[in-house]
Amino acid sequence: WPWQESLHNFNRLTCGGSLFSDRWVVSAAHYCRVCIYLPSNNPNTWTVYLGLHSQNDLSASTVVAGSVNRILIHECYNGSSHDYDIALMELSERVSFIDYIQPVCLPPRFQKFPYPGKSYFISGWGKLFEGGKSMSMVKSIDIPTIQVMYRDFNITETDWCRVCLLQGDSGGPLVCQDSNGRWYLS
């Protein structure tokens, strides 16, 4: 998952994100908004780790650490319901794409989800339970039954991006591969 990002605030793993261009990461607004309004906090307290596989090796040769220039939160984000729970983080410098650092494609503008019969994949370093430790290695899961989940949990169009693998994976990618082999953020 070369677009998978590990977002750290004040040097602590906070949430996941997805690289979608050479300068932008998409994540969850509920993590970013809380931190934006803390006194003494600003986007520069965030570090985005790209090309990361293990949280225990942030200095691996494959890892690029980037600082955040600004954070944009969806104008309709609702902190109570978490509708439109999406934030964009602009990196301070452009990222060079290599095998293990690549952007995920954004879906066409009016694409509806879920795609019938498609498998989705979620990835991240989240915790298995409240108060537990984050996973050291990035994990992923194939979700072939996304339509069942979508129906059973009453996930609406405005909160579709809140589906997550483990606690702490909020903001991380939910992706689907099209028939041409291209991966899209869902």
Which of 8, 30, 169, 186 is an active site residue? 30
Is 0.85 topped by the overall pTM? Answer: no
Does residue 149 form part of some domain?
yes
What pLDDT score does 168 carry?
A: 57
Q: Whole domain around residue 135: which residue ranges?
A: 120-185
CATH number of the domain that residue 128 is part of: 2.40.10.10
Nearest alpha carbon to residue 111 among 178, 16, 22: 178
Confidence of residue 101 (pLDDT cuts 50, 70, 90): very high
One domain for residues 87 and 8: yes
Per the prediction, the chain carries an average pLDDT of 76
Which of 6, 27, 170, 186 is an active site residue? 170
Q: Would the pLDDT of 45 be above 60?
A: yes
Total Cβ atoms within 10 A of residue 160: 16
Q: Would the pLDDT of 66 be above 90?
A: yes
Confidence of residue 150 (pLDDT cuts 50, 70, 90): very low
Rounded mean pLDDT, 158-168: 49
Q: What is the pLDDT of residues 11-32, one digit of tens each?
A: 877 788 999 999 999 988 876 7
Confidence of residue 116 (pLDDT cuts 50, 70, 90): low
Distance of CA 77 to the CA centre of its chain: 16
Instruction: Give the residue with greater pLDDT, 149 vs 94.
Output: 94
Which of 8, 18, 27, 85 is an active site residue? 85
One domain for residues 68 and 127: no
Does residue 147 form part of some domain?
yes
Percent of the chain's residues with pLDDT above 70: 69
- Helices (DSSP H) in 29-179: which residue ranges? 29-36, 146-152
**Phi, psi for residue 148 in degrees, rounded to 5:** -65, -45
Does residue 99 form part of some domain?
no
Would you say 6 and 49 are in contact if contact means Cβ atoms under 8 Å apart? Answer: yes
What is the tally of structural domains in the chain? Answer: 2
Look up 30 and say whether it is catalytic. Answer: yes
What pLDDT score does 160 carry?
A: 45
CA angle 29/67/138 to nearest 5° reads: 65
Q: Would the pLDDT of 134 be above 70?
A: no
Does residue 115 form part of some domain?
no
Instruction: Give the residue with greater pLDDT, 72 vs 132.
Output: 72
Does residue 112 form part of some domain?
no
One domain for residues 12 and 80: yes
Does residue 114 form part of some domain?
no
> Distance (Å, rounded) from C-alpha 166 to C-alpha 37?
26
Using only the alpha carbons of the chain, give its radius of gyration: 16
What pLDDT score does 95 carry?
A: 96
Look up 170 and say whether it is catalytic. Answer: yes
Does residue 14 form part of some domain?
yes
